[in-house]
Amino acid sequence: MISAKYYAGETILETARRRGLMINTNCVQGFCGSCQVSLLKGAVEMRKNKALTQKQLDSGAILACQSVPQTSDCLVEIDSC
Ligand code: FES
């Protein structure tokens, strides 16, 4: 597990990149789904989601490029590493 300090307003993608972690991306606007990761703990708010289905959301999928943490701890699994 790798932890990263979070700065208010950052997305999961921005935090990961600042920490040197790679997450696949394409549009970075919530449309393509390339940045899909799994939220294992905590809560996020997605600014936009035009890629994930309700079934994917229900299983914990989030868009890293659009997700802003809403809890003090978030644990995310990056499947694409
Ligand atoms: S990079 Fe396309 S939805 Fe995040």
Q: What is the pLDDT of residue 80?
A: 55
Residue of the CA atom closest to atom 3 of ligand 1: 30
Q: Is 25 in the pocket of ligand 1 (CB under 6 A)?
A: yes
Q: 55: Cβ–Cβ under 8 A, 6 or more apart, which residues?
A: none
Residue pointed to by tokens 């936009």: 48
pLDDT of residue 15: 96
- Centre of ligand 1 to C-alpha 61, Å, is 12
Number of H helices, E strands in the chain: 2, 5
Q: Is the CB of 32 under 6 A from ligand 1?
A: yes
Please state the pTM of the whole predicted model.
0.94
CB-based contact 66:45 (threshold 8 Å): no
pLDDT tens readout for residues 9-66? 999 999 999 999 999 999 999 999 999 999 999 999 999 999 999 999 999 999 999 9
> What domains can be seen in the chain, in order of their start residue?
12-77 (3.10.20.30)
Amino acid at 11: T
Question: Which atom from ligand 1 is nearest to the alpha carbon of 24?
Answer: 1
Q: For the chain, what's the residue count?
A: 81
